[in-house]
Structure 1
Amino acid sequence: MSVVSLRKYKQKRAEGKTLCTSGFHKWELLNERRFDVKQGKLVSTERCKRCGVERTKQT
């Protein structure tokens, strides 16, 4: 009789997704840097490494 453990499979499947839904993204800076003419600041774009959500940040 063999028993299959589902715990490790569930952990591996949900790895990273639970962090992103809780707001703990792993931001990665993209190479594009744009200049916002209205505000006079540089705008950098970041993408989450795990879920792919993008955000813009003024520097």
Structure 2
Amino acid sequence: MGDVVPFRRPSTAEKHAGNTLCRRGFHKWEVVQDKQFDVREGKLVTIYRCARCGKTRVDAS
């Protein structure tokens, strides 16, 4: 017989952990190292990804 997994509904705090900061514009940006050159523009770019929500932004330098 298989293992019994207890099911419970996550609390509101667990469900929205860290998401309220991103909704108000306080992202936790981290540099993504896998792609650093934009072929269309011919420039070096820095790609940032939020550690909490996964949103990305590009900064051309």
Give your verdict on TM over 0.5: yes
Q: TM-score, normalised by structure 2?
A: 0.65
> Residue 52 of structure 1 aligns to a residue in which SS?
coil
Distance across 1 between alignment mates of 2:15 and 2:52: 12
Q: TM-score, normalised by structure 1?
A: 0.67
- Structure number having the greater helix percentage: 1
- Structure number having the greater strand percentage: 1
Q: Which portions of structure 1, spanning 4 or more consecutive aligned residues, are displaced by more than 6 angstroms?
A: none
Q: Which residue of 1 aligns with 2:36?
A: 33
- Taking every aligned residue pair, what percent have the same amino acid on both sides? 40
> Residue 11 of structure 1 aligns to a residue in which SS?
helix
* 5+ residue gaps, structure 2: 1-10
* 5+ residue gaps, structure 1: 1-8
When the two chains are superposed, the root-mean-square deviation of aligned CA atoms in Å is 1.5
Letter in 1 for 2:23: T
